[in-house]
Chain A
Amino acid sequence: DQQVKQNSPSLSVQEGRISILNCDYTNSMFDYFLWYKKYPAEGPTFLISISSIKDKNEDGRFTVFLNKSAKHLSLHIVPSQPGDSAVYFCAASEANFGNEKLTFGTGTRLTIIP
């Protein structure tokens, strides 16, 4: 049972344009959401997060939007840069676990075309 889903395994975006990565979840107990970026042969690195009490969180070129009613979140990267090419994982956690135990999506491979 995949509780966190990233339905697009890959995405290609022109440099300078906006990249939008999507994530859906089924567990209504999730209340903290994170995005991780992963390069080949490296571990995931934390990118940005959002608590369920918010619907938007912005950090530089990265913005995460949360739609609780739709159980959907998205990561916007603008403008996209070649260094953004990586696999992006969406993750979620429940308050009961102290925001530490993460459930991951399957990832979306983002390729930025120069």
Chain B
Amino acid sequence: GAVVSQHPSWVICKSGTSVKIECRSLDFQATTMFWYRQFPKQSLMLMATSNEGSKATYEQGVEKDKFLINHASLTLSTLTVTSAHPEDSSFYICSALRGQQAFFGPGTRLTVL
């Protein structure tokens, strides 16, 4: 199956700092990637759809200025959590679309102190 990686796998940061999370499709090109967030005991909630070479499409209620998404190449999408606050602490997971099938990364655990 296709491989999707995320980096870092976990990060701890101070409140007010920005954190960048990378999502890479290792063995295929993905024009579309998705970013999800999962709070404890809740489902994966879609935050945004990342399209290579164009602006991301954000879901209702997700602040685009806070969660910056850049999909500069066919194998890399980045999510930057700007001015992170403790309530942004969550598990962030990406998926990359190959054909009509989505392949998920292992996730990034963000803890904001």
Is B41 touching A41 in the complex (CB atoms < 8 A)?
A: no
A43-B107, A101-B46 in contact; A106/B100 too (CB < 8 A)?
Answer: no
Is B104 touching A43 in the complex (CB atoms < 8 A)?
A: yes
Contact partner of B100 among A2, A89, A100, A107, CB < 8 A? Answer: A100
B13-57 vs A, CB cutoff 8 Å, 1 = contact: the mask equals 000000000000000000010101000011111100100000000
CA distance A56 to B105 in the complex (A): 29
What are the nearest 8 A-B pairs in CB distance?
A: A43-B104, A104-B43, A104-B44, A106-B43, A44-B104, A43-B106, A43-B105, A42-B106
Residue ranges of A at the interface with B (Cβ–Cβ < 8 Å): 2, 4, 9, 36, 41-46, 89, 98-107
Residue ranges of B at the interface with A (Cβ–Cβ < 8 Å): 1, 4, 6, 9, 32, 34, 36, 41-46, 49, 93, 95, 97, 100-107
